[in-house]
Amino acid sequence: MTRVRLVDVAREAGVHPGTASRALNPAARDGVSRRTVRRVELVAQRLGYVPNTLARGLRTSRSFVVALVIPDITNPLFPQIVRGAEQVLSEAGYTLVLTDTNNDPATEGSQVAAMSARGVDGFIVATARWEDATLDDLAAVGTPTVLVNRRNAAGLFPYIGADDRRGVDLCVDHLTALGHCAILHLGGPANTSTARDRSDAFRQSMRAHGLSGDLSIAGASYTEQAGAEAVRAALQQGMDFTAIVAANDLLALGAAQALAERGITCPADVSITGYNDIDFMSRLSPPFTTVRVPLRRMGELAAQTLLAWLDGRPPDAATQVLLPVKFMERGTTARVAVPVR
Amino acid sequence: MTRVRLVDVAREAGVHPGTASRALNPAARDGVSRRTVRRVELVAQRLGYVPNTLARGLRTSRSFVVALVIPDITNPLFPQIVRGAEQVLSEAGYTLVLTDTNNDPATEGSQVAAMSARGVDGFIVATARWEDATLDDLAAVGTPTVLVNRRNAAGLFPYIGADDRRGVDLCVDHLTALGHCAILHLGGPANTSTARDRSDAFRQSMRAHGLSGDLSIAGASYTEQAGAEAVRAALQQGMDFTAIVAANDLLALGAAQALAERGITCPADVSITGYNDIDFMSRLSPPFTTVRVPLRRMGELAAQTLLAWLDGRPPDAATQVLLPVKFMERGTTARVAVPVR
DNA sequence: CAATCTAACGCAATCGTTTGTGCATCCCGT
DNA sequence: ACGGGATGCACAAACGATTGCGTTAGATTG
């Protein structure tokens, strides 16, 4: 029960395979009479012809496959992006290949190489590090690539992100309005743009409020555990603060845990803001105050940008799209407590 | 800057492309002298040769790609499975293509067709319905396919799941031990095996305890909203119960919400058990009592089963693997309240 | 009516591998 | 020294589509 090939259709329709190919390809249909087109189409339909994508890809060197590179599918941040991209791509007849790098640069490199060998048409990368050799390689070869969520130093690829500056501003505005002055920034791993951007924004925002933005620590990774460790260390050192602006929801969760271990309650003693508004942040208790980022939309936009590129409309160098964010005031922030001592 | 091909390697090494091919292929290396093998390997390395997977696939009709079909990537259940499968497959040199059907059978059909055209070697399907035309097609063509999480009526494909019978038993045992007699089953959509299996198990388990297992309703889908709606309707009808055994965590969340709307508190008034132990169930308040299912392990096992098949070791017809589950006693279940009235 | 043009299609090369077959070359034994 | 296996490699035909170019036949023009 071998699949029906173009030759079979051609024979059945009484034409040459080449002609059948053109008849079936809307873009090359000029050189073929309307009658022949109709006949071939009919036969193809009747026989249930479905073109062999490998053979086509070999000849045309286009595969209609796009790879999406993410660090960890179990981080609820990414499924949203995946979903947005997946929908746009599949509507355009593209297939999405997902590869999970497990947060490991080496894995990322080999995965990307494997995808290239497989002839993917382009990449959407959500794992960018600030200095990123994999991206440099991609840029050197000229593979169409779009960055989402994180960007890199080189800035050679278009980037779809969110307005982190404003997101952090909103957090700081909110907290200062509640009377907080001693605000600690819990940043992300230094080799990511999100950590840099949010940390810079924090410093500037604090300064704009006439406060010092120097109270700052960082998690080793964007995980709950890293957040807890960082805050534990800060407490150990005797850092004094009434609020924490975390660079990420998971870090914020870890912070809350570290505080709880010390008997410090949130928000009564210390307020916390997260970042991203991951799905279940609103149902924790207390529900988490955080910044909503349009993750799904980012995925869609990244896909659209890449599609345009693949369609012959490359983006302006280093296009950056920053989507608007929304502050979600919930239960982990409260008016600063009157100092007891 | 075109990629280096096998011909380039062959020319550089002074051999025929065919010979180079064999030299580079460990399985066909017999007909080639050790010296030549070494020389070709060296040249290949030096030139940075990486074989064109499309061309190879065209010739060998193997693509080393496996498609994983899931209903909705944003349901936290699935990323775990994806991750397990992804790891096993990538270690074996396979690429995982993810396709999200958005819970729509038609989408599923066209996605699977597209994947077949693309020449994937096999499928892992997590979307099986009890009567499933897509799976029947796959079976008719003989495409290697493994079912995970849900199975279908035909039973022609191996299935990797969890021990639902026992999982439900544990819930019922736990609740009856707490004194509950009027237990409501909140089942899933009828066209899924998980709904059938868990519902059957509930009925039998109740009977084994000398209770009636007839108190049963069903959600239209495995979503929070469907769970809430079903329980709202049950309350409207005046159904009387002190505990709910839900077929799924999301349904359980919906149930909790519907109860809360009526001022019924959990677990003081009504106990609830979930199913699957999705990531954040333990951090809700109260933390959810549920049944932990080894999702990641299921993904791994499904991938291994498929790999074995692709490697020429097809599974016994209708193999079923049921992984052990673990009862997670947490905060949503309590001793039955002494009736007030 | 001859010359020219154009529409419609056939021909064959091509994409980069894999693999069945056949030709040398070499070694060994008698 | 010669026949007979091995052994090691080259040759060329696939896999299934796309596409530049050549060819034919019919329409058009002067």
Residue A288's pLDDT band, with cuts at 50, 70 and 90, is very high
pLDDT of residue B262: 95
pLDDT of residue B244: 98
pLDDT of residue A170: 98
List the single residue in B79, B80, B98 with the smallest CB-CB distance to A96: B98
- pLDDT tens digits, A54-73: 999 999 998 889 999 999 99
Closest Cα in chain B, distance from residue A122 (Å):
15
Distance from residue B39's CA to nucleotide D29's C1', rounded to whole Å: 67
Closest Cα in chain A, distance from residue B94 (Å):
10
pLDDT of residue B294: 98
pLDDT > 90? residue B339 = no
Which amino acid residue lies closest to nucleotide D8, measuring CA to C1'? B32
Are the beta carbons of B82 and A90 separated by less than 8 Å? no
- pLDDT tens digits, B289-302: 999 999 999 999 99
Q: Which residue has the tokens 């990123």?
A: A132
For A321, the enclosing helix (H) or strand (E) is strand A320-323
Of residues B168 and A98, more confidence is placed in B168
Are the beta carbons of A86 and B99 separated by less than 8 Å? yes
pLDDT of residue A183: 97
pLDDT of residue B317: 74
B191 in Cβ contact with B129 (< 8 Å): yes
The b/e string for A178-217 (b: 16+ C-beta within 10 A; e otherwise) is eebeebbbbbbbebbbbbbbbbebbbebbeebebebebbb
- pLDDT tens digits, A4-31: 999 999 999 999 999 999 999 988 888 8
pLDDT of residue A49: 93
pLDDT > 80? residue A340 = no
Distance from residue A41's CA to nucleotide D24's C1', rounded to whole Å: 25
Angstrom distances, CA of residue A239 to CA of A180, A182, A259, A333, B31:
15, 10, 12, 19, 71
pLDDT > 80? residue A341 = no
Are the beta carbons of A97 and B98 separated by less than 8 Å? yes
Q: Report the pLDDT averaged over residues B7-16.
A: 94
pLDDT > 90? residue A236 = yes
Distance from residue B37's CA to nucleotide C21's C1', rounded to whole Å: 22
pLDDT of residue B285: 87
Contact with chain A for residue B51, Cβ under 8 A: yes
- Packing angle between helix A17-24 and helix A34-47, nearest 10 degrees? 90
∠ CA B262-B266-B272, nearest 5°, is 110
Angstrom distances, CA of residue B65 to CA of A14, A112, B107, B122, B219:
35, 15, 20, 7, 35
Are the beta carbons of B79 and A74 separated by less than 8 Å? yes
> Can you tell me the distance from the alpha carbon of A122 to that of A127, in angstroms, rounded to the nearest whole number?
15
Distance from residue A73's CA to nucleotide C18's C1', rounded to whole Å: 36
- pLDDT tens digits, A115-174: 888 889 999 999 999 999 999 999 998 899 999 999 999 999 999 999 999 999 999 999
Closest by CA to B222, choosing from B251, B185, B255, B196, is: B251
pLDDT of residue B318: 77
Of residues A244 and B94, more confidence is placed in A244
pLDDT > 90? residue B116 = no
Query: What number of other Cβ atoms are within 10 A of residue A337's Cβ?
Result: 14
Which amino acid residue lies closest to nucleotide D6, measuring CA to C1'? B31
pLDDT of residue A220: 96
- pLDDT tens digits, A295-328: 999 999 999 999 999 988 889 877 999 999 999 9
A252 in Cβ contact with A244 (< 8 Å): yes
Contact with chain A for residue B50, Cβ under 8 A: yes
β-pairing, A290-292 vs A326-328, is antiparallel
pLDDT > 70? residue B338 = no
> Can you tell me the distance from the alpha carbon of A319 to that of A44, in angstroms, rounded to the nearest whole number?
43
A71 in Cβ contact with A103 (< 8 Å): yes
Q: Which residues contact A340 (CB under 8 A, 6 or more apart)?
A: none
- pLDDT tens digits, B207-217: 999 999 999 99
> Can you tell me the distance from the alpha carbon of B81 to that of A209, in angstroms, rounded to the nearest whole number?
47
pLDDT > 60? residue A250 = yes
Contact with chain B for residue A2, Cβ under 8 A: no
Closest by CA to A218, choosing from A197, A247, A238, A241, is: A247
For A44, the enclosing helix (H) or strand (E) is helix A34-47
A120 in Cβ contact with A335 (< 8 Å): no
pLDDT of residue B1: 56
Residue A339's pLDDT band, with cuts at 50, 70 and 90, is low
The answer to whether the beta carbon of residue B117 comes closer than 7 angstroms to any atom of strand D is no
Single pTM value for the model: 0.89
Nucleotide nearest to A20 (CA to C1'): C9
Strands (E) in A19-107, as ranges, are 65-70, 95-100
Three-state DSSP class for A268? Answer: coil
- pLDDT tens digits, B140-162: 988 999 999 999 999 999 999 99
Are the beta carbons of A57 and B54 separated by less than 8 Å? yes
- pLDDT tens digits, B85-115: 999 998 888 888 888 898 899 989 988 988 8
> Can you tell me the distance from the alpha carbon of B159 to that of B167, in angstroms, rounded to the nearest whole number?
17
Supply B56's token pair.
């190879």
Q: Report the pLDDT averaged over residues B296-322.
A: 92
Q: Which residues contact B45 (CB under 8 A, 6 or more apart)?
A: none
Contact with chain B for residue A82, Cβ under 8 A: yes
List the single residue in B79, B113, B117 with the smallest CB-CB distance to A79: B79
Nearest CA in chain B to A57: B54
The rounded mean pLDDT for chain B is 93
> Can you tell me the distance from the alpha carbon of B190 to that of B218, in angstroms, rounded to the nearest whole number?
8
Residue B303's pLDDT band, with cuts at 50, 70 and 90, is very high
Supply B232's token pair.
């709202």
B177 in Cβ contact with B337 (< 8 Å): no
DSSP string, A106-142: HHHHHHHHHHHHTT-SEEEES---SS-HHHHHHHHHT
Within 7 A of a protein CB, which nucleotides of strand C? Answer: 7-21
B289 in Cβ contact with B282 (< 8 Å): no
Are the beta carbons of B97 and A99 separated by less than 8 Å? no
> Can you tell me the distance from the alpha carbon of A243 to that of A269, in angstroms, rounded to the nearest whole number?
8
pLDDT of residue B119: 84
Angstrom distances, CA of residue A6 to CA of A1, A3, A56, B115, B232:
16, 10, 11, 18, 57
Stretch 292-321 of chain B: residues touching chain A, C-beta under 8 Å: none
Q: Which residues contact B292 (CB under 8 A, 6 or more apart)?
A: B276, B277, B325, B326, B327, B328
Q: Report the pLDDT averaged over residues B32-37.
A: 92
Of residues B207 and B27, more confidence is placed in B207
pLDDT of residue B329: 97
What residues are paired with B243 via a beta bridge? Answer: B183, B271
Nucleotide nearest to A8 (CA to C1'): D16
Nucleotide nearest to B16 (CA to C1'): D10
Contact with chain A for residue B224, Cβ under 8 A: no
A210 in Cβ contact with A150 (< 8 Å): no
The percentage of chain A sitting over the pLDDT mark of 70, rounded to a whole number, equals: 99
Residue A1's pLDDT band, with cuts at 50, 70 and 90, is low
pLDDT of residue B80: 96
> Can you tell me the distance from the alpha carbon of B298 to that of B68, in angstroms, rounded to the nearest whole number?
13
pLDDT of residue B340: 44
A64: left (phi over 0), alpha (psi -120 to 50) or beta: left
Three-state DSSP class for A323? Answer: strand
Q: Report the pLDDT averaged over residues B26-53.
A: 92
> Can you tell me the distance from the alpha carbon of A216 to that of A168, in angstroms, rounded to the nearest whole number?
14
Q: Could you tell me the sign of the dihedral formed by the alpha carbons of B75, B81, B86, B87, in that order?
A: positive
